[in-house]
Structure 1
Amino acid sequence: MDDSYRISDPQVLKAVTHPLRSRMLGLLRAEGPATASELGRKVGESSGLTSYHLRELAKYGFIEEDPEQRDGRERRWRARHRYTSWDNKDMAATPEGREVLEVMRMRQLDALVRSVRSFDASAWPAEWGDVSGMSDLLVRLTPEGVREYFRRIDELRDEMEERYGDDPAAQQVYLGLTAYPRSPSAPEDTPASASEDSEGGEAR
């Protein structure tokens, strides 16, 4: 599996704005190859519907038939990349691209909400509960500073995965990054951890 699928065509990115396709692609990336029937049971949809959307994902290059795990009755699909990437500036150059970007932001937010809701600290050892959580911070940066921040986080993530990824205690962990300039007209959006009287502080 390749690391990244770099997309420049809004029509291709639009293919994963469909919520069911987005979920199935995420499952194939996280859990490995599966058939339409297997995915249908996981997402609560018919195999006919999942089969159609899997073919659409394949059409736009996100997944492919798995030649190593053929099923005699049904195609088994696998993801071609670990994640999808695009350039916001290039994608926003057209009305279609701007619309797709807005929908993708909502899909990313949906995925984050699902990951948070699915976490039950009581079902995990105490050490996992101790390091799990979210942090929202308000800092002053330039666009170049944000770009450098993302680059350095990517480097650190790769370093940590190389160091700990093969450890028997390692688990798949949801990691998320966001960065949006705050509008001065929206004071209610100020993160709680940025408030002077906040008791919660920063969650790891």
Structure 2
Amino acid sequence: MVDDKPSLPDSSHVRTLDAGALRALAHPIRVQIYDILSQYGPQTASSLAEMTGESSGSTSYHLRALAKHDLIREVEGRGTARERWWERPVGGVSFPNPEAARTPAGRAASQVVMSEFLGRRHSQLMRFVGTSLDDELDAWAQHSLIATSSLRLTADQLAEVSKRVQAVIDELVDEYRVRDEDVPDDARTVSLRADVFPLPLEGN
């Protein structure tokens, strides 16, 4: 699974997190901070405290832990000694790591990260569903897409479908990615998500 690429200059680089980075990220608050930086761009410990409900001391601690493993970095030329700005590096991130999966600790860390990440995405989706019906004329609701389909595929066909879906997503991300200063005033952060996975054999 590869997570979102931040809205920064084009890059096709995808980093596979090693065991140390996975363990550093395997904390609910850190996943939340990491995801906020992915979705909303650079933040300070204070702004992250407001968005997460944590204290600025807590967010500062978690930011340092993430930075230690190059999961995030300080924004060059922005901020002061008292107010530092942090950002996600350019490029996607792959959470599954075959080497990390060989150890119980690595598997546990991967599961925590993916569960927290997907749980946050699901909560955002359900929040949208719960509020989009309030105004049926809302353009954002009208132009959003929530769709699901079922196919019968071999493992090789599944690999091909996943590859083609990812290519479409990469094309759209590259086409609509702009620098912060060029973002239109009426733009909002939009989650572009695709789930392609086999269902249980027993149909449960």
What is the CA deviation profile of residues 65-104 of structure 1, one whole-angstrom value per residue up to 9, with x for unaligned ones? Answer: 1122122422221211343214554442332232223223
Give the Cα separation in 2 of the matches to 1:39 and 1:90.
Answer: 32
**Residue from 92, 97, 115 that aligns with 2:106:** 97
- Of 134-143 and 122-131, deviating more is 122-131
Alignment of 1:50-61 (within 5 A): 50-61=59-70
How large is the Cα RMSD of the aligned pairs? 2.7
Per the alignment, residue 47 of structure 2 pairs with 38
Per the alignment, residue 201 of structure 2 pairs with 184
- Of 83-92 and 16-25, deviating more is 83-92
- Of 17-26 and 164-173, deviating more is 164-173
Q: Greater CA radius of gyration, 1 or 2?
A: 1
Matched, 1:130 2:142: yes
Give the Cα separation in 2 of the matches to 1:70 and 1:124.
Answer: 42
TM-score when normalising by structure 1: 0.76
Match of 1:67, SS state, is strand
Higher relative contact order (CA closer than 8 Å, sequence separation 6+): 2
Give the Cα separation in 1 of the matches to 2:33 and 2:135.
Answer: 25
TM-score when normalising by structure 2: 0.76
- Of 127-136 and 70-79, deviating more is 127-136
Give the Cα separation in 2 of the matches to 1:11 and 1:159.
Answer: 31
Per the alignment, residue 49 of structure 1 pairs with 58
Q: CA deviation at 1:20?
A: 0.6
Matched, 1:77 2:86: yes
Match of 1:112, SS state, is helix
Alignment of 1:13-24 (within 5 A): 13-24=22-33
Answer yes or no: is the 8 Å Cα contact 1:66–1:78 preserved in 2: yes
In 2 relative to 1, CA 163–8 (structure 1 residues): closer, same or farther, beyond 3 Å? closer
Give the Cα separation in 2 of the matches to 1:147 and 1:86.
Answer: 18
Per the alignment, residue 190 of structure 2 pairs with 173
**Residue from 115, 118, 123 that aligns with 2:124:** 115
Give the Cα separation in 1 of the matches to 2:91 and 2:158.
Answer: 23
Answer yes or no: is the 8 Å Cα contact 2:165–2:194 preserved in 1: no
Matched, 1:141 2:153: yes
Match of 2:166, SS state, is helix
Percent identity over the alignment is 32
Per the alignment, residue 191 of structure 1 pairs with none
In 2 relative to 1, CA 157–26 (structure 1 residues): closer, same or farther, beyond 3 Å? same
Match of 1:69, SS state, is strand
Give the Cα separation in 1 of the matches to 2:86 and 2:36.
Answer: 11
Q: Which runs of 5+ in 1 are unaligned?
A: 189-204
In 2 relative to 1, CA 65–45 (structure 1 residues): closer, same or farther, beyond 3 Å? same
Answer yes or no: is the 8 Å Cα contact 1:4–1:85 preserved in 2: no
